[in-house]
Structure 1
Amino acid sequence: MKLLTILLWLPLFIFACNDDDDFMPIEITPPTDTTDTISFLALGDSYTIGTAVADNERWPALLTANLLQTGADGKSYSSATDIVATNGWTTRDLINGIGARSDLRATYDLVSLLIGVNNQFQGRSLTEYRTEFEDLLNQAIVFAGNNRDRVFVVSIPDYAFTGFGGGNPDISEGVRQFNAACREITESYGIPFINITPISQEGIDDPSLVATDNLHPSGKQYQRWVDELIEDQVREILSN
């Protein structure tokens, strides 16, 4: 009797085992965190510290906010940002300012440099600027762990196109000469030179691009720098 019962149940047991084989285990992949944390050092003058705009309207802050959003590269980035910049600084002031900071990291994932307008404004020589700008560019490379692929340079805005500048062509020519030197040196190192100057030259036609001090860019202008030029270049840098 026991044998008969076993024989009756055996086909059902075999069928059940074969049926189970048709069900493959479902692999559940946990969500992937696509946010990378990067360290960012921004070196410069009033255009980097954001004179006459709120802290969250500085272009480094706006860049950080944009990078937090997932871009076309499928990535988002949170940033620990340090800024070494002060209104009125020349290249020599920035060199000294870097030397006075003991709180900076030894290396950063990303380093920017925007400097030179005060050299031009104060009538300092282009020769001096070239020498000191190259020194700063080399310092930026050191901060990037000697990886020049993690460095980018932003051009000098043309402040002739503000209420203060009044469309003065001499200002534009002076800024053009300093930008030409800046670009030449930057590109000789194979480092990206991001030319935001044409956006700054819309300031007279569109006063909303100029801050309330009638001289510096507004948050709106800085946002355009980031949206139209800087963010894409930075995402390319970080993807490499």
Structure 2
Amino acid sequence: MTADTPARVLALGDSYTIGTGVDEDERWVTKLAERLREEGETVADPVVIAENGWTTDDLDEAIDRRNPEGPFDLVTLLIGANNCFQGESPGTFEPKFRALLDRALGFAEDPDSVVVLTVPDYTLTPVGQANDPEAHAQRLERYNETIREAASTTGTRLVDVVPPSKRVAETESLVAGDDLHPAPDQHDLWLERIYPVAAAALD
């Protein structure tokens, strides 16, 4: 990447990446590109492969359909919430996640260019509270253990968005109008954690 060549960003995920419940310019992916530009980076509009309700299988199939052409200067991966919500066991989730992380690595220049995000804690939202939150929270914790371990063993970068997602318990405005997804203010909290890691990956 040179000063005249915009950095290419690929964002892989589900509703938390596509920004379900908020406008496109309010989601963290869009704000990340804007923030990088404000700080002097030349960044192309991110290529986003994500959709509300997607599981790891859905994302894998969508990557096949879209067939993005690498290499990308930055690749983000945030997936697993819908697997967890649908009750998939952590043991079943693990190989699926690792396979997607391998695909993400294949689109990147090197492992340092890949940013893996933990799955936010949706159990504290109104929808989460109405759907056996204790069982979901236990399963989600094991999912995130898998994600953290996979990031560590592959040498990719990790951003933990679980702490800001838990703040919905005392701040209702962090939840979008659908009572489940992050509101713009929560996307901002995530960005505070994602931006420095992404900037370092592009440095």
**Structures share fold, TM-score greater than 0.5:** yes
Q: Which residue of 1 aligns with 2:35?
A: 66
Q: Which residue of 1 aligns with 2:198?
A: 234
Q: Supply the distance in 1 between the matched residues of 2:45 and 2:92 (Cα, whole angstroms).
A: 33
Q: Give the TM-score normalised by structure 2.
A: 0.93
Q: Which residue of 2 aligns with 1:199?
A: 164
Where relative contact order (Cα < 8 A, 6+ residues apart) is larger, the structure is 2
Shift of 1:34: 6.7
Kindly report which structure 2 residues correspond to 1:23-42, keeping only aligned pairs within 5 A, or say none. Answer: 37-42=6-11
Shift of 1:163: 1.2
Runs of 4+ in 1 over 4 A off after TM superposition: 33-36
Shift of 1:35: 7.9
Larger-Rg structure: 1
* 1:164 and 2:133 are equivalent in the alignment: no
Say which structure is richer in helix.
Answer: 2
Is the contact between residue 44 and residue 115 of structure 1 (CA under 8 Å) also seen in structure 2? yes
Percent identity reads 36
RMSD after superposition = 1.7
Q: Which residue of 1 aligns with 2:116?
A: 153
Is the contact between residue 42 and residue 48 of structure 1 (CA under 8 Å) also seen in structure 2? yes
Shift of 1:169: 2.6
Is the contact between residue 49 and residue 86 of structure 1 (CA under 8 Å) also seen in structure 2? yes
* 1:138 and 2:97 are equivalent in the alignment: no
Shift of 1:171: 2.3
Kindly report which structure 2 residues correspond to 1:1-240, keeping only aligned pairs within 5 A, or say none. Answer: 37-70=6-39, 75-102=40-67, 104-145=68-109, 147-166=110-129, 168-227=133-192, 229-239=193-203
Q: Give the TM-score normalised by structure 1.
A: 0.79
Question: Any idea what SS the aligned residue of 1:236 has?
Answer: helix
Q: Unpaired segments of 5 or more residues in structure 2?
A: none
Q: Unpaired segments of 5 or more residues in structure 1?
A: 1-32
Is the contact between residue 37 and residue 80 of structure 1 (CA under 8 Å) also seen in structure 2? no
Question: Any idea what SS the aligned residue of 1:231 has?
Answer: helix
Q: Supply the distance in 1 between the matched residues of 2:142 and 2:90 (Cα, whole angstroms).
A: 8
